[in-house]
Every structure is written in structure tokens, then in C-alpha cells.
Amino acid sequence: MTLHIPFDNSYAALPDGFFTRLDPTPVAQPALIAFNQSLADQLGLTGTDDPRLAAIFGGNAVPDGAAPLAQLYAGHQFGQFNPQLGDGRAILLGETVGRDGMRRDIQLKGSGPTPYSRMGDGRAWLGPVLREYVVSEAMHALGVPTTRALAAVRSGEDIIRDTGPVPGAVLTRVAQSHIRVGTFQIFAARRDLGALQTLYDYTLARHYPDAKDPAELLQRVIERQAALVAQWMSLGFIHGVMNTDNCTLSGETIDYGPCAFMDAYDPETVFSSIDRFGRYGYAAQADIIVWNMAQLATALIPLMPEPEAAVEQFTAQVHAMPDLIRAEWERRFAAKIGISTPRPEDKTLIADLLTRMQAGRADFTNTFRALSDGTARDEFTDPAAFDDWQTGWQDRLANEPDPQALMRATNPAIIPRNHRVEEMIAAAVAGDDAPFHRLNAALATPFDDNPDTADLRRAPLPDEVVPATFCGT
């Protein structure tokens, strides 16, 4: 059969100043690594047994109905404003309205240079492609709003990075949209009120059709981002590069570059090799998302009829955001210790456990999972530290309906461990994709205890610790 993607493109109907139209650059020898059939079904794709899948998702054949383009945006990168960024190595093929009625983008990542490449080659190497495939699908299985992976394709050609030649690859990413804070920033910075109004109207129609004005749009995005970052933190996830161009209006997690999940709990954990001052470390994420929303608020001010009054109103909305994050954080961490109806005093109980975990170098994921089976003390270098906390915790759970079930539904048994991801990438570079497929399959059911994947759940040994992750560009 012939692959059919039911494109229904709306972003491509915006003015040309929002993007550059161009086709992806073909690769030497596309070879399919993975294709996400369940996601394809959700998107309404048919004919997925087409032998041209590798060519299509490698960028060598543009499917019928596509409207390929590279999107334009700006962004604050590590706090410094870059007035023009854009898709430097990505091509939006178009959009579909899936079987669930949701409109989603289909984008090729690593598909060649664009006018926004800034001297880059527009390509991606195999490691980051497989990392994003595995981690984004794992996040979806964990219930986190996220972009997803539809396909991964080897390009059949090497590309040059700092360490020398590495195998190239192309990822097909699916998102509710790729509208970013930086998309608003570029038109605000250019004082292009017409384009800013067009983008605002489009975003409302696509994501927030019941929002009445820019203040309400801002509030909706604030609420989604507050919930998202609190959920990241409840899973020990560190995004690693929370620039405003990596912050979506849809509230999805996007751009899995130097991301990682914590092993031993430490709120100061930083993985990103380019984050020299810890701007995007684990605990800092709650502050940075507020900063990012302040940048969105600034970009929306020109759309308000009374800008001075808008500054006051938007400032109040942004300043209220930490309380939203804190409330969501407390709710999620209460559930992690089996509490379904949190009380104010539970904050102390949670904080005490985390302090003891940090001091005892306890593994974040395995400790919380072990709370439900009575083995959490084994995760501490000094089990007595857990014993001292446990008495008050058990007293608190006395009137909870089913704390064990809640904890098992909240605390995953398995996450994409950094050392296992690196092992998977190394194997794939050597031509062995079996570890990639095994890891991806195990992460699809993260709350199940599967004895066959116990090795993937294990925390790293000292010589397996991955101290830094890399962007991959």
C-alpha cells in the first residue's frame, strides 16, 4: 500500500513572514530504525506498510498533501535574547487532525539546512535522535504532556561533530503545535503588531478557543506550564535547556537535548554540558518557568488596549505563578508518599524525606517506588535515617484509603536511566539496535514490575554514572 497522511495544514496558510517554505534535503541511504505504529494509527495514517517509509521519514520523498516549511522564532538562550532563531535543522511537513480530533504537527528533525541554520549543517546525529525517541515516548507513557516520536531513520551518511564523524539520523516528531514563547517574541521584538495579532488569533483558535483576551491566554499557558514543570520535578526529570524557544504555548515538553532523569536525589543536579552555572538545574526549573512566562507576558503587552494597565495585570499573574507550581508540586509529592488528600503539614513530611534522601544519596526513582513494598530503607546509605522518618509517615497514612495503590500508580518502576540510554546509543552506533528496541518496549509500561527488565531499573554503579549530557547540535 501507499502511505497516506491526511494532511490538513493551517500554519502554512499564515503569511510567509512566519516561515520559509522549503523541502527537506535528501539523505544518502535512508534506513528505518523505528516506526511508531500506535501513534500513526492515532494520527489517521494509512498504508504504513509502504516500503517507502524510510524515504519519506528520512526526507527523500515529500508525501502528498504536505506543505514543508521551516518556522521562524526568536528566543532567550541562557538568558540572552537572540532576535532570530528558527528551525535550523527541522522541517514541518504539515498537520493532521487525528482520530481523537486533536490537531498535531508532523515535523522532520535533522532534515537539512534552512535559512535559520546559522552556519550549521541542519543535520542530527544518531545519538540525540534515539535519545529523543526513547525519552519522549517514555514521558508519554508516564502521563507527561510531551511531543512524541513517530519514526527514526538512519541517513546512511556521517556528519561532523566536535568528536569527529558520527552517523546521521532523522527523527519524525509529533506535537500539538510548535508555537513557542519565542514565536511571540520575534514579532514583538520587531514591533510587527500585525503579525503578532495574527499569531495570537491563530494560537487562540488552535489551543485556547474559549480565551477572551491576551490576559486569559497568558493565564492558561501559565497554568499548563506550572503543572508541567511540577510534574517533571515529581519524576526527577531535568529538561536541561529551558530556553524560551523550547517553551511551548500548548504546554508540552519539547526538545529533548541535554535532558536527563536524576539518579541519587540532589536538588542542585545539573546534567547539561552547556549549563555552566546551573540555570536549568533540577530545582531551578520552577524559577525558570516563571521567568519564561514573564517573557511571554512582555511579548503580549502590545496586544492590550492599555499597555500600562496590562503591565500591572500581567505582573500580578506572573507573580502568582510560584504558588501554582508549589500547590501542584505538593499534590504530586503527597501522592508519591501515598497521601490522596494533602494537608498543609504534609509539606514538612515531604521535605524531611527529601532532605534525608539527599544526605543518604538515595536513588530518587527507586526510593519512591520502594515505599509501597517496604524496602525503601535499603536505598539509604544509613537506613536509620529512613527509619526515623518512617514512624511519622505511617501515622499519617493511617486514615488514607489505599496508599500502596496510589504510590504504585504514581511512582514509576522504570525510567530512561542515563547510563542505559548511553549504552543503547553506543550499541546503535555500532550497528546493534536491539538495546534501543528493548529499552523502548520496557519504558512503554513504566508502572509495571517486570522481572525481565530488572537490569534497566537498577541505579548506576559508580563507574556507570553519566555526569553530563549533550545537546547534539
DSSP string, 335-387: HHTT-SS--TTHHHHHHHHHHHHHHTT-BHHHHHHHTTTT-GGGGSSSHHHHH
Tell me the three cell numbers of residue 386: 529512613
Res. 171: pLDDT tops 80: yes
- How far is the C-alpha of 418 from the C-alpha of 322, rounded, in Å? 29
Residue 108, beta-bridge partner list: 91, 172
- pLDDT-derived band of residue 472, with 50, 70 and 90 as boundaries? low
Selection from 374, 363, 391, 378 nearest residue 457 by Cα: 363
Among left, alpha and beta (phi > 0; psi -120 to 50; other), residue 21 is: beta
Q: Is the pLDDT of residue 165 over 60?
A: yes
Beta bridge partner(s), residue 70: 20
According to DSSP, residue 23 is labeled P
pLDDT, average across residues 173-191: 98
Q: Residue 149: which H helix or E strand, with range?
A: strand 148-161
Nearest to 471 by CA among 161, 70, 156: 161
Q: How far apart are CA 11 and CA 390, in angstroms?
A: 54
Question: Within 13 A of 387's CA, how many CA atoms are on the CB side?
Answer: 5
Q: What cell does 293 get?
A: 512566562
16 is catalytic: no
- Residues 344, 348, 350, 354: is their CA dihedral positive or negative? positive
Q: CA–CA separation, 51 vs 32, rounded Å?
A: 10
The alpha carbon dihedral of 352, 356, 359, 361 has a sign of negative
| The one-letter amino acid at 209 | P
Quote the distance between the C-alpha of residue 1 and its chain's center. Answer: 33
What is the rounded distance in angstroms from the CA atom of residue 264 to the CA atom of residue 351? 16
Is pLDDT at 399 greater than 70 in this prediction? Answer: yes
pLDDT in tens, 54-111: 999 999 999 999 999 999 999 999 999 999 999 999 999 999 999 999 999 999 999 9
CA dist list (Å): 472 to 57, 122, 125, 342, 385: 20, 12, 7, 41, 40
Average pLDDT, rounded, for the chain: 96
Write out pLDDT tens, residues 316-341.
999 999 999 999 999 999 999 999 99
Name the residue among 200, 178, 153 with its Cα closest to residue 303.
200
* 67-96 b/e (C-beta count within 10 Å ≥ 16 → b): bbbbbbbbbbbeeeebeebbbbbbbbbbbb
Q: Which residues contact 402 (CB under 8 A, 6 or more apart)?
A: none
**pLDDT tens digits along 446-461:** 999 999 999 999 999 9
pLDDT digits (tens, 9 = 90+) for 237-265: 999 999 999 999 999 999 998 999 999 99
473: pLDDT strictly greater than 60:
no
> 119: pLDDT confidence band, cut at 50, 70 and 90?
confident
Q: Which of 87, 105, 245, 255 is catalytic?
A: 245
Cβ atoms of residues 149 and 138 within 8 Å: no
Q: What is the pTM of this model?
A: 0.96
Q: What is the pLDDT of residues 13-35, one digit of tens each?
A: 999 999 999 999 999 999 999 99
Residue 24 DSSP class: P
